[in-house]
Amino acid sequence: AFLEILYIFFIYSLYILYIFFIYSLYILYVFFMYSLYILYIFFIYSLYILYIFFYILLYSFIFFYILLYSFIFFYILLYSFILSKDCIGIN
């Protein structure tokens, strides 16, 4: 009877260890997958934010370039009006 009890205890302990091992592997798998998913989302959104930032930076440089050339154009226009005969009044 003692050997049968020992055998039943051994079988149930192996079964409990098997269940514990399977669930620990499942928990590790779920944790690993969710951590990879979170890292993937973070990476994609950081790339998207960097893309938007560089897009805004590029368009701001283009805007300031256009602004600079418009100031140069208006300066040349004003200078030509000042140096012209019509503005001074000389015929």
In a domain, 18, yes or no: yes
The answer to whether residue 38 sits within a structural domain is yes
Q: How far apart are CA 64 and CA 44, in angstroms?
A: 30
Structurally, the chain folds into a number of domains equal to 1
**60, part of any domain:** yes
Q: Is residue 2 part of a domain?
A: no
Which residue is it, tokens 């993937």? 40
Q: What is the pLDDT of residues 36-82, one digit of tens each?
A: 999 999 999 999 999 999 999 999 999 999 999 999 999 998 888 77
Q: Would you give the distance in Å from CA 21 to the centre of its chain?
A: 37
Q: What is the extent of the structural domain holding 50?
A: 14-83
Model confidence, pTM = 0.46
- Determine, yes or no, domain membership for 33: yes
Q: Please say whether the beta carbons of 45 and 52 come within 8 A.
A: no
Within a domain: residue 1? no
Please state the three-class secondary structure of 59-76 as a single string.
HHHHHHHHHHHHHHHHHH
